[in-house]
Every structure is written in C-alpha cells, then in structure tokens.
A and B are shown apart, each in its own frame.
Chain A
Amino acid sequence: MVKLKHDIRWMNLGFLVLLIAVLVVAACAKKNPVAGAQPAPPPEISGPSAVPSAPPAPPQRVEDSVPLPALNEDAIGNRSLEDLNRDSPFKPAFFGLDSSELDDTGRADVTANAEIMKKYPSWVITIEGHCDERGTAEYNLALGERRAVAVKTYLVALGIAPDRMRTVSYGKEFPFDTGHAESAWAKNRRAHFLIMSK
C-alpha cells in the first residue's frame, strides 16, 4: 500500500510537470494573436506544414505561407469572397454634397476599379450607392440610386459589360462612419463596390 501511494505521488509529480510544460507552451502560443486564433493549421498547406513536428511550433507563418511565392501576382484572385469584400481591391468612389457626379478623383478611382474588373473577367459586382445623413431618408434612396448608376455608366463607358454589375441604393441607411461631421459625411457619400461572385 505504501509503495503504491509512493508511485501515485510520483505519477502526480510527473503529471504536474507535464501540466506546467503545457501551460508554458500555451502561454507562449497565446502571445501571438494569429496563432491563438488559428489553433489548427488548414490542411491545404501541405508543403510547409512539415515543420510542426517541433513541439512549440508557433505557427505565425500560416498567413504568409498560404499564397505560394510563384502565384503571388494572383494574390487577389485566390482570396475568398468574404476576405475580398472585407479588404476590397476596389476603391470606393466619393461624391460631393447632394451630387451624383464623379469628379476627377472619383473617375480615377473608378478607372482603377475597371482595370481590376478587366483582370478578373468572371467577377460580378454590386455597386452600392450611399449618402450622408444630411439629406432626408426618403430622397436619399433616390440619390444613392443615382450615384450607383453614375458609376455603373462610367464603368460601361470604360468597357465593362453591364451584365457584370448590379446597382443598389442604401440611401443613408448604412453609414460607414456614424460621426456627425464633414469627415464622416465625406466617407458616407460614396459608391461602394462589393464582389458578388468570381
């Protein structure tokens, strides 16, 4: 009986050591937010994943290793729709107060967007028209419609097929910046691009 107790104590001690080791590793891993959010590396990265046999294995290189260096030029095309729309390659086009006319900057931004559309000819997009809060909710729905259509018309003039673009107006219903000053209003008077399919 005494010997058994002794063994159990040794086992407990061993378990404790193991636990501490695990905690230390976990704490190390937690220091890196990417690794914390990504407990298991996705299975598709077979090439570099030979490394994780090492015990601490802080996998902070996961994001970098997804696009292979050889395919770097298609970094945009390989991303998921969700990622693309969260961090969009398209620039929004901004408008003046009560205006649906594209100024020089707006035309340059839409032209850049047209180049992306030409590079990825399978992409279908929605152009959202948005307004700042200074107009009325009712009228702004029509103003946002006209902003979205103005951008679509310009893209058609740049050679983009109209059936690749839908327009929708959200008026002042979905502000990007909820502030009540010109800095916010300027951000909210925009045509926003969303990729619907690719």
Chain B
Amino acid sequence: MNFQLPTPDSQGDPPPDSKGDCARVNSLGAVSWVLAVIVAGVVVATLMAQAPQTPAPAVPPPPQQPSEIQLVISGEPGTPPRYAVPDFVALSPDAADIAKTLGQVLWDDLNFEREFYMIPRDTYATIPAARTAEEVPFAAWRELGADAVVFGTIQKTDPSTVRVQVRLYNVRSRQTVFAKEYTGSATNPRLYAHTMSDEIHQQQRALRGVARTKLTFSSDRNREKVAGPVQNRDVKEVYIADYDGEGQRRVTTNRQLNIFPVWSPDARAIAYTSYRRGYPDIFIALIYQGLQETPTNGVGQNWLPTFSPDGTRICFTSNRDGNPELYVMNRDGSGVRRVTNNPAIDTTPTWSPNGTQIAFTSDRSGQPQIYIVGADGLNLRRITTMDSYADRPTWAPAPFNEIAYAGRSGPGYDIKVFDLASSTTRQITFGEGSNESPAFSPNGRHLAFTSSRTGRVQVYTMGRDGKGLKQVTRDGNNYTPGWSN
C-alpha cells in the first residue's frame, strides 16, 4: 500500500501510475466531457443563429430554474439593453453634490463604450426617487423602457472619507445583478463612478472599459515664452487628464519644449521628448514618485520614445549615426540596438501588440509613408500606398489587427486605419480641420487624436468607427495625445 500524498521530492519525477496522476486524468476527463457538452451546445446555438428558418426540434427549451439569477441583462431582441442611471442618494446631507456627480459620471462612462442604450437623465423627472433599495419603482422604470437601473448611495463617513454603495437591477426580474461597496477618500469621487463603470462593463459585457484610464498630451496653455535669444517661442509642457478630460494636471515645469508624451504600460511613467538641455532628448517622468530618468545618457539627440508593450524596452528616433534612424534600448538605456539603416528619414515608431514588430514612418520612397519592420531590423515592408504623406502610425492593441495613422488629405490630414489582414484602409475623419496624431485606447475601441476643427488644435476622442466624437481639451493648443493602460 503506497497511498502517500506526493511530497516535493516525488513531484519532480512522479511514477507513471501514481494516484495523483490517475486523479488528474479523471478530472481532465470530466472537464473534457463538460467542455464537449458546452461546445456542442454552442455549435447548435451558432447553427441556429445562422439558419433561423430551420426548424429545431432537437434543442430542448431552457430548463426553468427560478433559483438561478440571470446575471447579464439583455434588451429587446436585436437592441442593446436600455440603462437608467439616476442621481445617487446622499445618506448624509454634505454628500448631495457628490451624489449628483456620481450619477452623471457613471452615465457618461457607461455611455462611452456604446454597449448600452443610455436613457437620457433628463427624462427621469416623472419617476419617484427611491430613498432605499426597497423603494426602487421598477414599474415606473419599466414604463420608461429601462432594462437595467442603477441604485446607488453615498455617505460621508467623516469629512475626508466616503462610503459608496451601488446596485445594478434587472428591471424585469427585479433582481440585483451587480452590487458593490467602495470606501475611501472623498477627494476624487469621480473615481468611484469610473470603477463601477469598468466593473459593470466587465461583468455585463466581458469588456475592458477605459473609465479609469488617463490621457497625456503636450500643451501651450500657459502662454509662457521660452527664455532665449529668439522671441515668441511658446513653451509646451506635458499634461495628464482622465480619459474624459477631467482632472487636467501639469507634469513638466521646465518652460521648454516638452512634446510627444507616451505612457509606460504600467501607467506609472510618461516618456517624452524635452528640449530642456537645448536639444531634443528622451526623459521619463515617474509621475507618482516625482522622479525623472534620462535613459539615453547624453548620446546624440533622441526623440519620439515609445514603450514596448511589456514595458521593458523603448524604441525611439535618434540622429546619433548622422541621420534620423530607429533604435531600441532597454528601459534603463542599456543594450542599444539600431533597427533601421537607410539614408532617408526613419522616425515615429510604434510597437506591435506582441512586441515583435515596429511600424514607423520613412521617406525612403520620396514621401513619408508607413512601414513595418521586425524589432530585430528584418522583414521590412511598406503598408501605405494610397496617401501622398502618412505619419504617426499607432498599432492597435489586440484583438484589432490594425494601424491608425495621419494621412494627408486636402490641405490637412485625416485619421485613417489600415487593416493588416485585408490590407484595406478606412477613414474615420473627413476634413474637419486637420486631424493628426492618433493614439489607441487600451481596449482598441477608441482613438485619441488632435484636430484643428474649432480653430485651435485640441485633443479629441472618437470610436474606432469614427462615431462618438468627444472634445477632451479646451485651453490653449494641445498636441500629440497618449492613452494609458
């Protein structure tokens, strides 16, 4: 009899017929049976969906199990579920303004991904406000056509902290499908709404929302002038803001040119190009520590840094060998390798989502065009051919297999998206001023870019289908956005 549990010694080289392996095989078998059943179900369901006219006597109706809660709220067939987000209830009188903010911000956040039909908040007036979860007037919400309604409360637990509770109800079944409580600082109540939105998108749509992501961009809003012999040179400083443009904060303060900011993948650092030494060089601001890194160690002039998706490497443009070429270095500046080698300009790099390829701009054909090269410098190929001028490629995150760029059209530029699988290009702006410098959101569903459509240059966001335009900046001119994870 040898039924001992596997010890650390025996785990390294288990006997082929040990109890442990047997059990594993059995459980694997069970899993594969379950999987097979599920796959069969999915296949049948898919067939059903593809051929609705086929009679389907083989599929039994779903079993009625009233004890089980349908977590995902659906709308009428073929339409997105209709959501209502009324004001939150202030459980302490000093939280009234926060209660209103939470409702509005959560509505805006849920609206941003366009997965739900958000019922406008100004149509809720006829619906009696619920003070407690038991008072939620489901019948009235149903009358308004709501499939889902949010009930939330906010309480100041002391002058600086709050407790926020939120429930998402399925209006038809009157059941809670999502319930959360958050406690913490009262300084930025919008963050609670952003967190709820991301969690609701995750639970209801298996979607990674962007409500807690941030933008960075360069701005001349201070109207300060660079100190130097030539007059009238505007300072540009790096700023950050929430994805919706709220909470704009200045990051750099050196009164020089600070341009082309990008986020590190952990969203804790911003790499950018600064002229604080009189020439362009790469700086990394660790924004939560107040520290700064200069990875290029004074070699040549360097600009347009961009982090690899795993954050370990930086690709950038440098003139260190005489003309603008692309280089890759480790984040600490070690291990510099040259990626391109051509007397023409090679610049504006962007990494593929798996970090093995780099798209960039080169004028080796005579005009700036977008190319792709392996991060090892091999397998170069050109991708844009229909534009007279193309720059600022930005590789979309998975699963979108596409590269956005600014292509010249008319007097200015428009944002275009090249699909790598089909080698087709679609356009998402159409001559509303000049539209430049696209940057993808971390879920790939949105783009930030700059546009001169209102006169000055401002940062906007837009869905990858060109819908849902939203202005992010309004003060001064604002350039070259980057979007955090």
Chain A contact residues, CB within 8 Å of chain B: 81-82, 85-86, 98, 126, 134-139, 141-143, 145-146, 149, 166, 168-170, 173-174, 192, 194
- Of the four ranges (under 10, 10 to 19, 20 to 34, 35 or more), the interface on chain B belongs to 35 or more
CA distance A99 to B359 in the complex (A): 23
B236, A85: Cβ atoms closer than 8 Å = no
Q: Which of B154-162, B188-196, B317-325, B466-474 contacts A (4 or more CB under 8 A)?
A: B317-325
Which of B257, B278, B348, B411 lies in contact with A139, CB distance below 8 A? B348
**New A-B contacts (17) at CB < 8 Å, excluding given A136-B437, A137-B480, A139-B345:** A86-B229, A86-B231, A136-B413, A137-B259, A139-B348, A139-B391, A141-B303, A141-B304, A141-B317, A142-B324, A145-B301, A145-B324, A146-B324, A146-B345, A168-B278, A169-B301, A174-B230
B257 x A170 contact (CB < 8 A): yes
How far in angstroms is the closest Cβ of chain B from A192? 8
Given contacts A135-B389, A136-B406, A138-B347, contact A81 B324 (CB under 8 A): no
Chain A residues in 8 Å Cβ range of B280? 141, 168-169
- B88 within 8 A of partner (CB): no
Enumerate 6 A-B pairs (CB-CB under 8 Å) in ascending A order. A86-B229, A136-B413, A137-B260, A138-B260, A138-B391, A169-B301
In the bound complex, residues from chain B placing their C-beta under 8 Å from that of A166 are: 279
8 Å CB contact of B436 from A136, A143, A194: A136
In this assembly, does B170 line the interface, its C-beta being within 8 Å of a C-beta of chain A?
no
8 A Cβ contacts from B355-397 to A? 361, 363, 367-368, 389, 391-392
Smallest beta-carbon distance A162→chain B, Å: 12
In the assembled complex, how far is the CB of residue B457 from the closest CB belonging to chain A, in whole angstroms?
Answer: 9
* Best-surrounded residue of A126, A135, A138 (most CB of chain B within 10 A): A138
Instruction: Say yes or no: B367 contacts A98, CB within 8 Å.
Output: yes
Q: Chain A residues near B324: list those with CB within 8 A.
A: 142, 145-146
On chain B, the residues within 8 Å of A138 by CB distance are 260, 304, 347-348, 361, 391-392, 437, 480
Which among A169, A173, A194 has the highest number of chain B CB atoms within 10 Å? A173
- Cα A170 to Cα B301 in complex, Å, equals 12
User: How far is A169 from B303 in the complex, measured between Cα atoms in Å?
Assistant: 11
Q: Convert B298-321 into 0s and 1s, putting 1 for each residue whose CB lies closer than 8 angstroms to a CB of A.
A: 000101100000000000010100
A146 close to B233 (CB less than 8 A): no
Q: Determine the chain B residues whose CB is within 8 A of the CB of A145 once the complex forms.
A: 301, 319, 323-324
User: What A residues does B260 contact at CB under 8 A?
Assistant: 137-138
Decide: A139 and B279 in contact? CB cutoff 8 A: no
Q: Which residues of A contact B389 (CB under 8 A)?
A: 98, 135-136
Cross-chain contact of B230 among A134, A139, A149, A194 (Cβ < 8 A): A194
Judged by a CB distance under 8 angstroms, whether B440 is at the interface is no
Q: CA A139 – CA B368 in complex, angstroms?
A: 8
- Cα-based distance from A139 to B367 in the complex (angstroms): 11
B479 in contact (CB, < 8 A): yes
Of all chain A residues, the one with the shortest Cβ separation from B229 is: A85
Q: Is the CB of A173 within 8 A of B257?
A: yes
Chain B 409-439 near chain A by CB (<8 Å), digits 1 or 0: 0010100000000000000000000001100
B259 and A142 contact, CB distance less than 8 A: no
- List of B residues within 8 angstroms of A98 by Cβ: 367, 389
A168 touching B301, Cβ below 8 Å: yes
Nearest A residue (CB) for B457: A137
A5 to B273, CA, bound (A): 75
Per the bound structure, the CA–CA distance linking A173 and B301 in Å amounts to 16
Contact B345 A143 (CB under 8 A): yes
CB distance from B460 to the nearest CB of A (A): 16
Determine whether the beta carbon of B259 is less than 8 Å from that of A173. yes
Query: Hey, which chain A residues are within 8 Å of B348, CB to CB?
Result: 138-139
A136 touches B392 (CB 8 A): yes
User: In the assembled complex, which residues on chain B have CB atoms less than 8 Å from the CB atom of A146?
Assistant: 323-324, 345
* Chain B proximity of A128: nearest CB distance (Å): 8
A contact residues around B391 at 8 Å (CB): 135-136, 138-139
Cα A192 to Cα B233 in complex, Å, equals 14
Contacts of B367 in A (CB 8 A): 98
Cα separation A169 to B259 with both chains bound (whole Å): 13
